[in-house]
Structure 1
């Protein structure tokens, strides 16, 4: 498994209904995409849930690299790049996935917490600590993933929520749509 996200920061006066309509008409196109565990169509709205910006920021968990490659080099990402410019795509190595008590519900929110691993910190110890602190058992948690970016030694905790999460879980997003064609096949627990 690996995680992937790109962020498209939009002007402060941008009509976010354009993004909502885009997701409403195109979101289901990835509902059966091979190799994709999940795609959360995420939106941050300036002044809502502490967001300083308007931002469209889809988040992906890929079960298979072939799926990610098929998406990035295919018509979907090409169309997005034509409409908004080609964004930087961040990638993280997957470490763990856990189901939460809200797993059967429809997620309406997501959080992303990025935690640096200091130069004097043992990465394995940082990962063990992060695994112990995952919010997957919190009320309203749907799915939680832990991943690492080894280019900058940063842990990523991403959680989908069926309830409103607090700011302690990181940056907060609205979930406009969730595609989850192969989420059930993604191994739970640690991935090593």
Structure 2
């Protein structure tokens, strides 16, 4: 499993209905993408759920590198780059994934929490704690799914969770979910990834 996200931070007076309309128009194009566990079309709107910015920030969990690379180099990503400029694409190696009790229900919100992996810590212990956090989040009421991944270039953990409710039981940046494409969600490996 591989996690990926890019963020397009937009002007404070940007009409976020433009983003909503774009997702409504093209969101279905990845509904049957080979190698894609899921893509969540995420948005933060300035002043909503504590967001200081307007932002479009899709988050992906990939089952295969081939699927991800086909998306990035095969033309789909080019359309976004042409419309908004080419964003930096963050990538994390998957640590764990769990489905919540609300799996299969429409996700309304997503929560992302990034945290540094401190120098000198026992890596096995930190990664085991991340797996435990995934299990804890997935066990909460209203959880659709939860995942953890690590960027070993920056030594950063990312915790990502999807929720059916307006008040998710997770700490981090809150995003509105505009659409979810999940062609291979059922193939995402559950639990610890090593």
TM-score, normalised to structure 1, is 0.97
Cα deviation 1:90-119 (Å, max 9, x = unaligned)? 000001100111113100100001111100
Instruction: Determine the structure 2 residue equivalent to 1:13.
Output: 13
Report the equivalent of 1:55.
Answer: 55
Which residue pairs with 1:145 in the alignment? 147
For these two proteins, the number of residue pairs brought into alignment is 192
Structure 1 unaligned spans of 5+: none
- Confirm whether residue 122 of structure 1 aligns to residue 83 of structure 2: no
Alpha carbons 2:35, 2:65 under 8 Å: kept: yes
Q: 1:181 to 1:166 in 2, by over 3 A?
A: closer
Of residues 164, 182, 185 in structure 1, which corresponds to 2:184? 182
1:191 corresponds in structure 2 to 193
SS at match of 2:26: helix
TM-score when normalising by structure 2: 0.96
The CA deviation at 1:126 is: 0.7
Contact kept? 2:113, 2:158, Cα under 8 Å: yes
| Partner deviation per Cα, 1:53-84 (whole Å, 9 max, x = no partner) | 00000000000000000000122210100000
**Quick check: 2:95–2:130 contact (8 Å CA) kept in 1?**
no
| Superimposed CA distance per residue, residues 152-180 of structure 1 (whole angstroms, 9 cap, x where no aligned partner) | 11111100111124485210000000000
Q: Distance in 2 between matches of 1:76 and 1:99?
A: 28
1:84-163 matches, cutoff 5 A = 84-134=84-134, 135-163=137-165
Tell whether 2:82 aligns with 1:82.
Answer: yes
Q: Secondary structure at the match of 2:66?
A: helix
Partner Cα separation in structure 2 for residue 35 and residue 145 of structure 1: 17
| Structure 2 gap segments, 5+ residues each | none
Query: 2 CA distance for matches of 1:174 and 1:145?
Result: 17
